[in-house]
Amino acid sequence: MSKKNVLDFIRMKKEGEKVAWVTAYDFPMGMFAEQAGMDMILVGDSLGMVLLGYKDTIPVTMEDCLSHCRAVRRGAPKTWIVGDMPFGSYQTSDEDAVKNAVRFLKEADMDCIKLEGGVRVASRIKAINEAGVLVMGHIGLTPQSAGQLGGFRATGRDVKTARSLIEDALAVQDAGAYSILVEAVAPELTEFLTRKLDIPVYSIGAGVKCDGQLLICGDMLGQFQAFTPKFVKVYANIAETCTNAFKQYISEVKNEEFPTDDHVYPRKDSLEDFQKLFDEYS
Ligand code: KIV
């Protein structure tokens, strides 16, 4: 399998070939995603909620993101990986945004970065792109501004917010982003943006008529327990599988059913020789 590049994603849009991608935060999940043939992976700052137990993504740091990006890269060396810029890493200035975006490539071998926002982050996207780093935009429900949006809420369901999202999407494209992720908006808006924009438009919770779909691994695998957004399809139940395995293990330990002879290293000398040894020390 050869690693995809930006031209592949542009070609896929042109040819109507869908991109399937998922988040991953660690080595094994990166490996499973690559083995399954995922087109790309996002190391999202959702790692703060799914992996670190924060109530939202705000506390996630650059160091958290870089460390998890490196682990995923080790697991998925042949997959296009998007590094997600955490809150605070690009809000302060274009210079900070460039400096931190560059770190994702230099220190974690990411292929591009993603940041949240439309019109208001256009100068950041332009600056990062001009520094030679590919940028994916992210509009709609943007978790880092969930506080301002009044929580994790769908948007673009009325003409007023849809208009402002169209302006955001155009600003992201004009600023030089190579693709855009649209989260939790009305499907008709996603379909319109997919036709209107030249760059690939990906959906998370934004309908089927676009260039590809993203889901959060913790949601689709039934690992994240706090809540499950309406747009998620749950493909596995890792939480139940783990809890049941742990329960069985506890019971088998308590009852001396584990370990059995299959799980130990048998002695190489005779029992009599071992007994002599034990007698020496008794
Ligand atoms: O951090 C993340 O996983 C994301 C998704 C919510 C799109 O940005």
Are 149 and 270 within one domain? no
Least confident of 20-24, 115-119, 201-205, 223-227: 223-227
45, 165: one domain: yes
Residues 175 and 68 in one domain: yes
CA 61 to ligand 1 center in whole angstroms: 15
Residue 126 lies in a domain: yes
Q: What is the pTM of this model?
A: 0.95
Same domain, 142 and 122: yes
Residue 1 lies in a domain: no
What pLDDT, in 10s, does the model give residues 156-204? Answer: 999 999 999 999 999 999 999 999 999 999 999 999 999 999 999 999 9
Per annotation, catalytic residue among 116, 167, 183, 188: 183
Say whether both 30 and 163 belong to one domain: yes
Residue whose CA lies nearest to ligand 1 atom number 5: 44
Is 183 in contact with 141 (CB distance < 8 Å)?
yes
Count how many domains the chain has: 2
Residue nearest to atom 3 of ligand 1 (CA): 44
Per DSSP, 155 falls in state: B
Is 30 in the same domain as 135?
yes
**Whole-Å CA distances, 140 to 6, 153, 166, 280:** 23, 9, 10, 75
Is the minimum distance from the CB of 116 to ligand 1 under 6 angstroms? Answer: no
Q: Which domain holds residue 256?
A: 241-280
Query: CA 256 to CA 166: how far, in whole Å?
Result: 63
pLDDT at 150: 83
| Rounded Cα–Cα distance for residues 135 and 181 (Å) | 11
Q: Which residue of 57, 58, 82, 201 sits with most ligand 1 atoms within 8 Å of its CB, as the best mutation to test the pocket? A: 57
**pLDDT (mean) for 35-51:** 98
183 carries an active-site annotation:
yes
pLDDT > 90 in the chain, percent = 96
Q: Give the tens place of pLDDT for each residue, 87-109.
A: 999 999 999 999 999 999 999 99
129 and 268: one domain?
Answer: no
Rounded to an integer, what distance in angstroms lies between the CA atom of residue 80 and that of residue 73? 9
Whether 80 maps to a domain, the answer reads: yes
Q: For residue 45, what are its two tokens?
A: 């700052």
**Type of residue at 259:** P
Can you tell me the mean pLDDT for 17-40?
98
213 lines ligand 1 (CB under 6 A): no
- Nearest ligand 1 atom, CA 214: 7
Q: Is 111 close to ligand 1, i.e. is its CB under 6 Å away?
A: no
CA of 33 relative to ligand 1 center, distance in Å = 16
| Average pLDDT, integer, range 122-130 | 98
